[in-house]
Amino acid sequence: FALLGEASAISGSAVYISFIIGGVIALFSGYSLGKLGARYPSSGGIIEYLSQSYGVGFFTGTMGIMLYFSAVVSLSLIAKAFGNYAITFFTFNDTPKILHHFFSSGIIILFVLINLKGAKDVAVWERVTVGIKFVVLTGLSIVGIVYLNSELLSPSYYPPTNDILFSLAITFFAFEGFRVITNTAEDMPEPSKTLPRAMMTAIILVMLLYVAIAFAVFGNLPVEKVIKAKDFALAEAALPIFGQLGFTVVAITALIATASAINANLYAVTNVTYQLAKDGELPSQFGKPIAHSREGLIISGVLIIILSLLFDLSEIAAIGSISILFVHTVTHVGHLKIISKTGASWSLVFIAAMLSLVAMVLALIYVIRVSDHVAYILAGFFLLAFMAEVLLQKISKRIIKPRITNKV
């Protein structure tokens, strides 16, 4: 819902190719993370895997802070997308920006309160919303493909190959949520079996759905219209087929989908901040109990709102995608160091590391070419993580230990 229009501005009607490539990268990453999660089922997820691979200390702490910042950036993007779809229900000629900010900030505040009640409510809400959006998106995809105009999908309209590859800066971020599954490992029955299966199944289903949606959208709308309505492209694609009712239904579903994503990711961010506080990489205030959750949830919510007010959708996606790909690359390389403990295939984990690295480099090249200020923001993002870890190492003086021992 959030990124199809932004990605199409780079790769046009060939965006489905970018989604396939992003999905393949996610599958290899999912394999590696699934094996790590099966061996180390911790609510800290990737942070636990980094401490197991690289040991505890400065490097692991810096990567952990980067991962936390990336999760906050992700949520700010989703909140902004929620605001984009919410304002489509208003008929102002020039919608006041304050109204967009109201919806983007309000949805974060709402789900912070919901998550304070605990993970049980999170799981119930997630099952309901996933079902709703899956039905609507599948229906839109099927009908859109049935009525598509094949001429609109002609390769003659495709941009240069490098633009398709550069759009990975946006499309991979659409798969970013699969890593959230690792943070729920402790809540799973038999995580050694359930986690890898859940990871791969989720990625495959999402990739197929993204590709089908791309065909449905670009088979019914010319690229120019998709780009013009990029903030609510899926709803716009429903207009030629279902009319205004279809637009409204898809827009409502988009609100449900983005709300669902915020809900699920807030749960993961809470677990990440908990693990960081426990290991000493963030101030102890993050771990203080409030209601049934933790203070880290509230602090994270404030940061998410601030970011959603400062950056636009494409900037957030680029920053988040590059930083996540970097953390994934480091995690997969670390996995190679302990691969005898996880029983994973060395070749598949190596491919995961290389694909993540190549995708990160391509995304970085694109950002440098088109948005110098975003490149500076990204550099500042990495520098901030580095400086924060230096400061926290001096302040906390904690002994950082992995949550799970290396005993088999």
CATH number, domain with residue 158: 1.20.1740.10
Q: Rounded CA gap, 167 and 188, in Å?
A: 35
Phi and psi of 352, rounded to 5°?
-60, -45
Residue 154 has pLDDT above 90, yes or no: no
Q: Rounded CA gap, 240 and 387, in Å?
A: 52
pLDDT band at 1 (very low <50, low <70, confident <90, very high): low
User: What mean pLDDT do residues 255-277 have?
Assistant: 72
Q: Rounded CA gap, 63 and 330, in Å?
A: 9
Q: Rounded CA gap, 378 and 259, in Å?
A: 26
Q: What percent of the chain has pLDDT over 90?
A: 16
Query: Rg of the Cα trace of the chain?
Result: 21
Q: Which residue has the higher pLDDT, 407 or 259?
A: 259
Residue 286 has pLDDT above 70, yes or no: no
User: What mean pLDDT do residues 331-349 have?
Assistant: 94
Classify residue 37: in a domain, yes or no.
yes
Residue 386 has pLDDT above 70, yes or no: yes
49: DSSP letter: H
SS3 letters for 115-143?
HCCCHHHHHHHHHHHHHHHHHHHHHHHHH
User: What mean pLDDT do residues 357-365 have?
Assistant: 90
Contact between residue 287 and residue 295 where contact means Cβ atoms under 8 Å apart: yes
Classify residue 266: in a domain, yes or no.
yes
User: What mean pLDDT do residues 43-49 have?
Assistant: 82
Amino acid 334: pLDDT = 95
Classify residue 146: in a domain, yes or no.
yes
Average pLDDT, the chain: 82
User: What mean pLDDT do residues 207-231 have?
Assistant: 86
User: What mean pLDDT do residues 219-237 have?
Assistant: 81
Amino acid 174: pLDDT = 80
Q: Rounded CA gap, 21 and 355, in Å?
A: 10
Q: Which residue has the higher pLDDT, 280 or 338?
A: 338
Residue 315: how many other CB atoms lie within 10 Å: 19
Classify residue 402: in a domain, yes or no.
no
User: What mean pLDDT do residues 273-280 have?
Assistant: 59
Domain count, the chain: 1
Q: Rounded CA gap, 61 and 398, in Å?
A: 12
Classify residue 168: in a domain, yes or no.
yes
Amino acid 400: pLDDT = 54
User: What mean pLDDT do residues 139-154 have?
Assistant: 86
pLDDT band at 157 (very low <50, low <70, confident <90, very high): confident
User: What mean pLDDT do residues 52-72 have?
Assistant: 83
User: What mean pLDDT do residues 318-341 have?
Assistant: 91
User: What mean pLDDT do residues 71-92 have?
Assistant: 83
Amino acid 408: pLDDT = 44
Classify residue 78: in a domain, yes or no.
yes
Q: Calculate the CA dihedral of residues 393, 395, 396, 398 and round it to 10 degrees.
A: 50
Residue 107 has pLDDT above 50, yes or no: yes
Q: Rounded CA gap, 217 and 226, in Å?
A: 8
Q: Which residue has the higher pLDDT, 277 or 387?
A: 387
User: What mean pLDDT do residues 194-200 have?
Assistant: 88
Amino acid 22: pLDDT = 92
Classify residue 203: in a domain, yes or no.
yes
Residue 337 has pLDDT above 90, yes or no: yes
Nearest to 78 by CA among 374, 366, 311, 308: 308
pLDDT band at 224 (very low <50, low <70, confident <90, very high): confident
Amino acid 120: pLDDT = 58
Classify residue 403: in a domain, yes or no.
no
Residue 117 has pLDDT above 80, yes or no: no
Amino acid 20: pLDDT = 94
Structural domain boundaries, residue 304: 4-396
pTM of the model as a whole? 0.84
Contact between residue 186 and residue 18 where contact means Cβ atoms under 8 Å apart: no
Residue 201 has pLDDT above 70, yes or no: yes
Q: Rounded CA gap, 408 and 389, in Å?
A: 31
Amino acid 112: pLDDT = 85
β-partners of residue 289 are 294
User: What mean pLDDT do residues 311-319 have?
Assistant: 80
Residue 300 has pLDDT above 60, yes or no: yes
pLDDT band at 55 (very low <50, low <70, confident <90, very high): confident
